[in-house]
Amino acid sequence: QRILGEMDLVCKENCSEELRAKLQWLHALNLYKSKHYDESRQFFNGAYELALRTNDKKLQATIIYYLTWFEIQDNEYDAAIQYLNAGLKLAEEIKLNRLRRDLTSLFIDIYEQTGNYKELAKAQAKYISLKDSIFNEELAASLKNLELNNQRQQSELIIQEKELELQRQRTILLLVA
């Protein structure tokens, strides 16, 4: 954490805005995980401003998750919903389904806390749909990996059989010669 802070200070004049945005985000994330929320919020805001200037949509969407969390903690639900809508738009645009799921879970938190059960039901249905979609994507990737491993193993067996056959033929040639 200290190292990231020092890197950010050194980097202010010597690094690109893209790199500074990522460094600030990493520093903010470390502070957040260490439960230094006020300080982390400042770094998230700085990283978000840099991500906006550099048009880093993935970083913007990721930071929005944390900025939304802070707004929910402050009971600033309107601001949280504005962040969430912006984050969902970005996450959909760049096809980040896990982030869409995580942002949707924050909608669920807001609607539970505010007693908005109609929107809560919609958010829960969307969350379940996203979770199922992610599961199906992961399942398809796992099946493809299994298929590729099976093909590789079959190829290795064929190669081993051919090498054994060549070795037998060489042995026969040596015995005959």
Contact 50, 26 (CB under 8 A): no
CA–CA dist 103, 125 (Å, integer): 14
CA–CA dist 80, 74 (Å, integer): 10
Within 10 angstroms of residue 171's Cβ, the number of other Cβ atoms is 10
51-100 pLDDT per residue, tens: 999 999 999 999 999 999 999 999 999 999 999 999 999 999 999 999 99
Average pLDDT, the chain: 90
User: What is this structure's pTM?
Assistant: 0.72
CA angle 48/54/56 to nearest 5° reads 70
Q: Give the residue from 16, 82, 85 showing the smallest Cα distance to 54.
A: 16
Amino acid 14: pLDDT: 73
Amino acid 70: pLDDT: 96
